[in-house]
Amino acid sequence: MIMKQKIITLILVCCTSLPLAGQSRHEFSVNAGGGLSTLSLKLSDGKSTSGFGIEAGLGYHFFLSPKWSIGTGINLALYNSEASIGKHSKTIDARTMNNTSFKFFYEAVNYKDEISAMMLTIPLMLQFQSNGKIKLYVAGGGKIGLPLSANYKTSINQLETKCNLVELGVLIEGDLPKYGFTKYQGVNQKADMKLDLAFMLSGEAGLKWQLGSMNLYTGAYIDYGLNDVRKDKPTSLLDYNGSATSYPSGFIYNGMANGLSSKVSAFAIGVKIRLQLNSSLIFKKTEKKKEE
């Protein structure tokens, strides 16, 4: 048993010690890509449209053998999407500044959100490449997305609000804009969105071109989000803010991603280029200087 373990250990050491045929074990690179890059919404009502985004960053690969390497890095990724609904109404519990409870009714016509987010993504990938000057490469693994910012721009063609004082049995539906109960036309607002860490499965494939002392990767990639990235999960598009001094800006706009979606996840698919400098040249120059 001990002999078998020694043999296995020796084989692993030999494999990781194989000469890389003129190729350094270390690859440092810059990359850029783009395509369909979106926050995917699972809506109970309405529709969502995926948007286009880009990503760029720095990469590092460590070669275990001439064909296998482990890669990581850091990238800046942009995600865009839209969500809309023709007509939506709801009655929710609310409170005034004086802590009086009432039923708040709203009806939105032609409601639309433009959603954008920026993440710092850190991949961990296992890559295989074939032999030859033009190599086929395939990589798979995962990514973690650290949210840097996210927001949504809301536009509503028409918004109608009412107040029902249940305790007094009074329905207020007149022109009372001071208290936020009236009809509004052309509402436009912008709000921040809080996101959690994103966990994604990631894949990439393409060709690796040898260009003298450089290598150029050209390929396609896909990132599939596994978890719900929302931090806040309200149950309505709109909330009443009793401490506001003016409306409609005083309302709390939750957005469709929060108010009408059961899950929001990151998704991206597109094309990518990666330019890699062969670090063996750097090491050779350093060694020559030492010899001189």
Q: What is the pLDDT of residue 168?
A: 62
**Who wins on pLDDT, 170 or 218?**
218
Give domain status of residue 1, yes or no. Answer: no
- What is the secondary structure of 70-88 as a DSSP string? EEEEEEEEEEEEEEEEEEE
What is the pTM assigned to this prediction?
Answer: 0.82
Please report, for residues 33, 55, 76, 200, 284, the alpha-carbon distance to residue 224 in angstroms, rounded to integers and kept in the order given.
Answer: 16, 15, 16, 5, 40
186, burial (CB in 10 Å: exposed 0-12, middle 13-18, buried 19+):
exposed
**pLDDT band (50, 70, 90) for residue 2:** very low
Start-end of H helices in the chain = 2-16, 255-259, 279-291
**Who wins on pLDDT, 4 or 115?**
115
Give domain status of residue 225, yes or no. Answer: yes
**Who wins on pLDDT, 103 or 223?**
223
Give domain status of residue 202, yes or no. Answer: yes
Q: 186: alpha, beta or left, given left = phi > 0 and alpha = psi -120 to 50?
A: left
Q: What is the pLDDT of residue 58?
A: 95
CA distance 63 to 23: 9
pLDDT tops 60 at residue 6: no
First and final C-alpha spacing in the chain: 51
Interval 243-270: pLDDT, tens: 888 999 999 999 999 989 999 999 999 9
Q: What is the pLDDT of residue 212?
A: 80
CA distance 270 to 221: 6
Give domain status of residue 3, yes or no. Answer: no
- What is the secondary structure of 155-195 as a DSSP string? EEEEEEEEEEETTTTEEE-SSBGGGTBSEEEEEEEEEE--B
The residues, ordered by sequence, that sit 6+ positions from 5 with a Cβ below 8 Å of its Cβ are none
Please report, for residues 10, 22, 210, 214, 284, the alpha-carbon distance to residue 19 in angstroms, rounded to integers and kept in the order given.
Answer: 16, 8, 18, 19, 15
**pLDDT band (50, 70, 90) for residue 23:** low
Give domain status of residue 147, yes or no. Answer: yes
pLDDT tops 80 at residue 191: yes
CA distance 200 to 39: 12
> Residue 236, CB half-sphere, CA atoms under 13 Å: how many?
16
pLDDT tops 60 at residue 12: no
Residue carrying the six token digits 């990518």: 272
Interval 89-112: pLDDT, tens: 999 988 877 777 888 999 999 999
CATH code where residue 201 lies: 2.40.160.20
**pLDDT band (50, 70, 90) for residue 16:** very low
Give domain status of residue 129, yes or no. Answer: yes
Q: What are phi and psi of 3, to 5 degrees?
A: -60, -40
State the residue range of the domain holding 162: 24-291
Give domain status of residue 18, yes or no. Answer: no
The residues, ordered by sequence, that sit 6+ positions from 249 with a Cβ below 8 Å of its Cβ are 189
Give domain status of residue 166, yes or no. Answer: yes
pLDDT tops 80 at residue 292: no
Q: What is the pLDDT of residue 280?
A: 56
Q: How many domains does the chain have?
A: 1
pLDDT tops 50 at residue 9: no
Bridge partners of 127, per DSSP, are 69, 139
Q: Which tokens belong to 132?
A: 């030859």
Amino acid letter, residue 43: L
